[in-house]
């Protein structure tokens, strides 16, 4: 029933899950058999049936109070131990700052690099996420690691895990946060220690000599614009970038706007100021994420997509 | 008329045996006629029926919304509505089901109808207040609906800040205010019931002869009276925040959004017990009646309801294990959550033991009671799962939780309500329904229900978060299965409406006591006379004493001036608060 276990703590959670499921199924089976058996065995045979007067039975009642009590106390203790592990990160954990906003995830690494909707971590090394939200409450949830923690606007929360397998896992937002709550996904990429370090050095490096168009294209991928905007005319969640620049756009309220530099800039910084007709207001604001130079580069890139 | 002699505890009463009149010409449904008479009635039975009409309406609306949601979820992306619409629909579905249907259903409908009858009283203690409670409920419901519709509230029924305060503008206020009005109806009904149980019992109904249904309602009343005011406090704080800019919940001005969750669950968790505890009462009545047997562990059942009512106040934090409260708080809340599981488990065993060596007649109400036992047990076990800290970290806010609370609320509470409705239907309307169709329908609903919610446990365990408009492809087959189940359930409810209407129009007349029950409400005519009993009932046996002959349950105080040869004298235990 559970997804693959890909963190060091997952096994313990799973063991408890399976313990409760099995004990419950056994008890449920017992109760169901009793219901069906009694209903059949003691079915009414005549209107004059006489039934015994059994008002209580102390031994029986104590038994069926104490046994469940013992069982739930086991579950309690087990759950608590697992939880204490989940909330106590090892001292040498690698720290990543997570910023949530409606509706994307930003991962800030120690060298200053930021990745959007992609989290890169080394395998077999504890990682601690220190998280906060820019707006409402979100919740970072990685089913494969069996971890989840709410992300709050007014304080830091944290969670930790140690990935045990190289590969990818899905990250969800688990606390309802509005229109695009169900689009607020990210991917966890687990690398070997060397690959992670290589990634960290190269991914972050921005080549100032790079020409603006290439840089814009890179930024569009890195900031996950391409999950909603295609460059080949396909309609995704947002309008395609192809042929966007200079065209006349119709807004939700009927206004016609020409997609010039200012419009694109506004769309990136304040996406909900004007909503393009036929689309949902689900685009996150990139204010604070992209600086002016980067926005320039994106505009240059969009200009080339005719 | 009472002769108080040698013992202070026991008094002798002159009684007669009263057989209920069959097919009475005059009863509560036809003694006062016309719309105005209904709207201004203070008769607890009619008020009960007016509540019944209202909650059936709300159940229908919220049920249709649920089907819309399930239809949208047939495909992983947009099927026919957009995300905003979806979010508003699930908000409406939840809010209506919880606040307009579940909370008032058992106490206000069945409680109102049955409580005075089980006490042998003419009405509740404050009949006018009772009518007022109904209108407060209607006003509150309309106000809330208005707020939701005009504001397009899409916050989920939990209204978590700061999302609710930033997106829905002032409507979170209007919304909370509407629910606050609804809360008043709840508080007033609770007070009314408590006073009635204390002061209006017929001679001989001592605390240990009180039907378990009334113990359930009594425990519920305690929760209603103590928990609902917290809603008012929350509203006051929200108002202070809005009007005076005192930061309480809004982080932008220094408040703490998690505080709102504490307030919300401090009311809403006990509210879960407002919904389920009266259901326990119904199940006790039904299982005993259809097993023709003394209830097993009367005090265990009665006291465990009270225990649940009290401990239920101390577990709200288990909704917030991942919300950032301290580990210590999480530990305490997890511990108390397990404690509340014990009295619930005890009840299940008591009901089973009542069936043991009984004379079981599988009539529709009993079938619903058994369905309740099965589904509610699943709901309970999955609750234990969610109470376990480490596991809840994984399962919180997934479909596992959705499935869990539907098993408790619908599999538990709604099935108990249906057991009660089918059980008391003949008493309410003096008509029988088709046993055949009722059982078929029950089977359809049972199958549909499990098809809808079992796959959701699996999805949840695999990590499918709740309140998701889009989902990843891997879950599609589960969602589709679930949707088909929901349609089947919908068909089931349409069938129920059909045979119930048929019963009202063309149903066979019901006898005064079609199930052969010993309970007091069955010792008067069906439908009930306007003033419930033609005499003051006298109780010398417990409500589940199936080993005593039926005629011992039909005693009433002999009229002063009557010249009855059948008069006899019985000794009746006196309890302090009993009415004269
Ligand atoms: Cu979110």
- Answer with the one of A174, A202, A230 that is the final residue of a domain: A202
Which of B291, B335, B342 is facing A68, going by the closest CB pair? Answer: B342
B398 contacts on A by Cβ (under 8 Å): 174
- Interstrand relation of A256-258 and A248-250 (parallel, antiparallel or unpaired): antiparallel
- Rounded to the nearest angstrom, the distance between the alpha carbon of A134 and the centre of ligand 1 is 11
A271 domain residue, yes or no: yes
- Asked whether residue A178 falls in the same domain as residue A216, the answer is no
Q: Is A170 on the interface with B (CB under 8 A)?
A: yes
- Interstrand relation of A114-116 and A256-258 (parallel, antiparallel or unpaired): unpaired
A260 domain residue, yes or no: yes
Give the residue, B377 or B171, on which the prediction is more confident. B377
- Asked whether residue A218 falls in the same domain as residue A170, the answer is no
Q: What is the pTM of this model?
A: 0.92
- Answer with the one of A31, A62, A86 that is the final residue of a domain: A86
Q: Locate the chain B residue with the closest alpha carbon to A144.
A: B463
Tokens standing for B92?
């409406």
Q: Which of B353, B138, B313, B332 is nearest to B229 (CA)?
A: B313
- Answer with the one of A183, A202, A221 that is the final residue of a domain: A202
- Tell me which of B155-164, B397-406, B431-440 is least confident: B155-164
> Residue range B266-274: average pLDDT?
89
Domains of chain B: 4-579 (1.20.210.10)
Most A-contacting residue of B294, B388, B457 (CB-CB within 10 A), to test interface? B388
pLDDT at A114 > cutoff 90: no
- Asked whether residue A109 falls in the same domain as residue A173, the answer is yes
- Rounded to the nearest angstrom, the distance between the alpha carbon of A184 and the centre of ligand 1 is 6
Q: Using pLDDT thresholds of 50, 70 and 90, give the confidence band for residue B2.
A: very low
Q: Is A177 on the interface with B (CB under 8 A)?
A: yes
- Asked whether residue A216 falls in the same domain as residue A188, the answer is no
Q: Which of B255, B251, B136, B263 is nearest to B192 (CA)?
A: B136
- Asked whether residue A111 falls in the same domain as residue A166, the answer is yes
Domain that holds residue A63: 10-43+54-86
- Rounded to the nearest angstrom, the distance between the alpha carbon of A158 and the centre of ligand 1 is 16
Q: Which residues 136-165 of A have a C-beta within 8 angstroms of B?
A: 136-137, 139, 141, 143-144, 146-150, 152-155, 157
A1 domain residue, yes or no: no
Q: Which residue has the tokens 């001989």?
A: B204
CATH number at residue A155: 2.60.40.420
Alpha-carbon Rg for chain A, nearest whole angstrom, is 28
Which of B356, B377, B469 is facing A38, going by the closest CB pair? Answer: B356
Interchain proximity B83–A180, CB inside 8 Å: yes
Percent of chain B clearing pLDDT 70 (strictly above): 95
A61 contacts on B by Cβ (under 8 Å): 297, 300, 346, 349
Query: How far, CA to CA in Å, does B302 sit from each of A140, B197, B202, B216, B280?
Result: 43, 14, 20, 7, 10
Which of A21, A61, A146 is facing B300, going by the closest CB pair? Answer: A61
- Rounded to the nearest angstrom, the distance between the alpha carbon of B30 and the centre of ligand 1 is 56
CA angle B517/B521/B527 to nearest 5° reads 105
- Asked whether residue A33 falls in the same domain as residue A113, the answer is no
- Å between B258 CA and nearest CA of chain A: 9
pLDDT for A180 equals 85
Q: Which residues contact A254 (CB under 8 A, 6 or more apart)?
A: A277
Q: Using pLDDT thresholds of 50, 70 and 90, give the confidence band for residue B364.
A: very high
- Rounded to the nearest angstrom, the distance between the alpha carbon of A185 and the centre of ligand 1 is 9
A155 domain residue, yes or no: yes
Q: Is A54 on the interface with B (CB under 8 A)?
A: yes
The number of distinct structural domains making up chain A is 3
Q: Using pLDDT thresholds of 50, 70 and 90, give the confidence band for residue B72.
A: very high
> Residue range B354-373: average pLDDT?
95
- Rounded to the nearest angstrom, the distance between the alpha carbon of B143 and the centre of ligand 1 is 29
Which of A28, A52, A149 is facing B322, going by the closest CB pair? Answer: A149
Which of B166, B257, B322 is facing A139, going by the closest CB pair? Answer: B322
């Amino acid at each position: 029933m559970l997804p693959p276990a890909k963190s060091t703590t997952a096994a313990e959670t799973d063991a408890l899950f399976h313990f409760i499921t099995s004990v419950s199924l056994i008890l449920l089976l017992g109760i169901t058999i009793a219901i069906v058996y009694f209903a059949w065995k003691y079915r009414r045979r005549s209107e004059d049936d006489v039934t015994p007067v059994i008002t209580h039975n102390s031994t029986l009642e104590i038994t069926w109070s104490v046994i469940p009590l013992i069982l739930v106390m086991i579950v309690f203790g087990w759950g608590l131990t697992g939880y204490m592990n989940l909330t106590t990160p090892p001292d040498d954990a690698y720290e990543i700052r997570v910023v949530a906003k409606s509706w994307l995830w930003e991962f800030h690494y120690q060298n200053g690099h930021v990745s959007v909707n992609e989290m890169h971590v080394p395998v077999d090394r504890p990682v601690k996420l220190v998280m906060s939200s820019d707006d409402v409450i979100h919740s970072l949830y990685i089913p494969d690691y069996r971890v989840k923690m709410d992300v709050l606007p007014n304080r830091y929360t944290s969670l930790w895990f140690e990935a045990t397998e190289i590969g990818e896992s899905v990250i969800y937002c688990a606390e309802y946060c509005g229109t695009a709550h169900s689009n607020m996904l990210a991917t966890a990429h687990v690398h070997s220690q060397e690959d992670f370090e290589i990634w960290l050095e190269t991914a972050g490096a921005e080549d100032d000599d790079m020409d603006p168009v290439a840089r814009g294209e890179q930024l569009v991928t890195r900031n996950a614009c391409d999950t909603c905007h295609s460059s080949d005319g396909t309609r995704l969640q947002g309008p395609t970038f192809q042929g966007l620049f200079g065209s006349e756009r119709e807004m939700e309220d009927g206004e016609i706007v020409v997609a010039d530099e200012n419009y694109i800039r506004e769309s990136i910084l304040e996406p909900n100021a004007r909503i393009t007709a036929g689309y949902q207001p689900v685009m996150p604001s990139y204010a604070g994420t992209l600086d002016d130079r980067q926005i320039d580069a994106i505009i240059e890139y969009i200009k080339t997509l005719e | 008329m009472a002769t108080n002699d040698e013992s202070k505890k026991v008094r002798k009463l002159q009684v007669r045996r009263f057989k209920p009149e069959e097919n009475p010409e005059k009863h509560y449904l036809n003694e006062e006629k016309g719309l105005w008479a209904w709207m201004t009635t203070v008769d607890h039975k009619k008020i009960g029926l007016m509540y019944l009409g209202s909650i059936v309406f709300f159940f229908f609306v919220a049920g249709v919304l649920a089907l819309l949601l399930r239809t949208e979820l047939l495909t992983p992306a947009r099927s026919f509505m957009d995300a905003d619409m979806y979010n508003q629909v699930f908000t409406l579905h939840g809010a209506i089901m919880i606040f307009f249907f579940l909370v008032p259903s058992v106490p206000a409908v069945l409680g109102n109808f049955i409580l005075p009858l089980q006490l042998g009283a003419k009405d509740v203690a404050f009949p006018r207040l009772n009518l007022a409670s109904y209108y407060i409920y209607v006003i509150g419901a309309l106000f809330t609906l208005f707020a939701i519709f005009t504001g397009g509230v899409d916050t989920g029924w939990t209204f978590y800040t700061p999302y609710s305060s930033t997106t829905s503008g002032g409507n979170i206020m209007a919304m909370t205010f509407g629910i606050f009005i609804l809360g008043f109806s709840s508080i007033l009904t609770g007070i009314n019931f408590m006073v009635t149980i204390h002061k209006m019992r017929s001679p001989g109904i001592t605390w240990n002869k009180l039907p378990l249904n009334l113990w359930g309602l009594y425990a519920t009343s305690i929760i209603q009276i103590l928990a609902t005011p917290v809603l008012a406090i929350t509203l006051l704080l929200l108002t202070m925040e809005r009007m005076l800019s005192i930061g309480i919940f809004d982080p932008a001005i220094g408040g703490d959004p998690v505080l709102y969750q504490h307030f919300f669950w401090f009311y809403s968790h006990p509210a879960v017990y407002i919904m389920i505890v009266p259901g326990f009462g119904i199940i006790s009545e039904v299982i005993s009646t259809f097993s023709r047997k003394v209830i097993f562990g009367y005090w265990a059942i009665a006291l465990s309801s009270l225990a649940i009512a009290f401990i239920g106040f101390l577990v709200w934090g288990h909704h917030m294990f991942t919300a950032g409260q301290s580990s210590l708080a999480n530990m305490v809340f997890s511990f108390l959550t397990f404690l509340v599981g014990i009295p619930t488990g005890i009840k299940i065993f008591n009901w089973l033991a009542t069936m043991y060596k009984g004379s079981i007649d599988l009539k529709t109400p009993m079938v619903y009671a058994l369905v309740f036992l099965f589904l509610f047990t699943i709901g309970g076990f999955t609750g234990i799962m969610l109470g376990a800290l480490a596991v809840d970290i994984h399962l919180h806010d997934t479909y596992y939780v959705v499935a869990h609370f539907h098993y408790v609320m619908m599999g538990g509470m709604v099935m108990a309500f249906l057991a009660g409705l089918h059980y008391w239907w003949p008493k309410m309307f003096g008509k029988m329904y088709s046993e055949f169709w009722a059982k078929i329908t029950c089977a359809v609903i049972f199958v549909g229900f499990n098809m809808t919610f079992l796959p959701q446990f699996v999805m949840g365990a695999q990590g499918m978060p709740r309140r998701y408009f889009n989902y990843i492809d891997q879950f599609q087959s589960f969602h589709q299965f679930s949707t088909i189940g929901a349609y089947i359930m919908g068909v089931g409810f349409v069938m129920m409406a059909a045979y119930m209407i048929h019963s009202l129009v063309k149903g066979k007349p019901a006898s005064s006591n079609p199930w052969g029950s010993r309970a007091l409400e069955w010792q008067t005519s069906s439908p009930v006379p306007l003033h419930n009993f033609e005499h003051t009932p006298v109780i010398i046996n417990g409500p589940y004493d199936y080993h005593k002959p039926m005629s011992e349950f039909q005693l009433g105080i002999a009229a002063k001036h009557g010249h009855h040869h059948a008069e006899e004298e019985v000794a009746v235990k006196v309890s302090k608060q009993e009415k004269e």
